[in-house]
């Protein structure tokens, strides 16, 4: 496999796993995206450092670039969590005895 494709595969796998773990723990969708993006950026740069043996000279540019990709992956991974929690929230409101559903008209 080409080294660039290996990097993309590692980045996507890290982003998916870390995002899923963060979205399990953090209830707010936007906070989970930001937190998982930050954590994944740091972990990915640590993996690059271990692989290369030195800090990449343009690591700030690499972090900014990968942050966009990681945020997108995190948003996609977190969407099922968000929809499930939203559905559960509506169900809890409907099950409350003091809740009266709105009337039409």
**pLDDT tens-digit profile of 37-65?**
999 999 999 998 998 899 888 989 989 99
**pLDDT tens-digit profile of 65-98?**
999 999 999 999 999 999 998 888 876 656 666 6
**CA–CA distances in Å: residue 75 to residues 43, 66, 97:** 18, 14, 35
Any long-range contacts for 44-49 (C-beta under 8 Å, 24+ apart)?
Answer: 44/10, 44/11, 44/14, 44/70, 47/10, 47/14, 48/7
> pTM score, two decimals?
0.79
């Amino acid at each position: 496999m080409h080294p660039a494709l290996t990097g993309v595969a590692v980045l996507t796998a890290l982003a998916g796993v870390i995002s899923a773990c963060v979205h399990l723990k953090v209830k707010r969708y936007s906070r989970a995206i930001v937190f998982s993006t930050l954590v994944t950026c740091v972990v990915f740069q640590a993996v690059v450092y271990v692989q290369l043996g030195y800090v990449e000279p343009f690591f700030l540019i690499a972090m900014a670039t990968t942050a966009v990709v990681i945020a997108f992956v995190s948003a996609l991974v977190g969407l099922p969590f968000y929809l499930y929690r939203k559905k559960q929230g509506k169900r809890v409101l409907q099950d409350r005895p003091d809740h009266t559903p709105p009337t039409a008209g």
